[in-house]
Amino acid sequence: GAVVSQHPSRVICKSGTSVKIECRSLDFQATTMFWYRQFPKQSLMLMATSNEGSKATYEQGVEKDKFLINHASLTLSTLTVTSAHPEDSSFYICSASGPAEAFFGQGTRLTVV
């Protein structure tokens, strides 16, 4: 299957700072990528759809000004958690996909202290 690389795998940041997470599609061009969040012992919830060259589409309840998404090329989408707070601590995972199935990155565990 296709390879999606996500970086960093773990990050600890201070409350009030911003953190950028990168998601790269290594072997195919992805005009659309997706960002998910998983709180401890819960399922993965779709946060937003990242569209190459246009604005991201956010799911209901997700603050677009807090979770900035940039999809500047066909192989790279970034998620920036701005002014992070402890409640933003979570596991974030991206996917790139074709019409039939999705390929997931390794995930990023964010801890805000």
* Site residues for other proteins per CB under 8 A: 1, 30-34, 36, 42-46, 49, 51, 93, 95-102, 104-107, 109
The rounded distance, in Å, linking the Cα atoms of 108 and 27 is 21
Q: How many residues are listed for the chain in this entry?
A: 113
> Which tokens in the block code for residue 14?
């201070």
CB of 83 to other proteins, least distance (A): 26
User: Which of 49, 70 has the CB closer to other proteins?
Assistant: 49
Q: Which helix (H) or strand (E) holds 54?
A: none
Residue 87 phi, psi dihedral angles, 5° rounding: -70, -10
DSSP category for residue 59? P
CB of 39 to other proteins, least distance (A): 12
User: Which of 80, 91 has the CB closer to other proteins?
Assistant: 91
CB of 20 to other proteins, least distance (A): 19
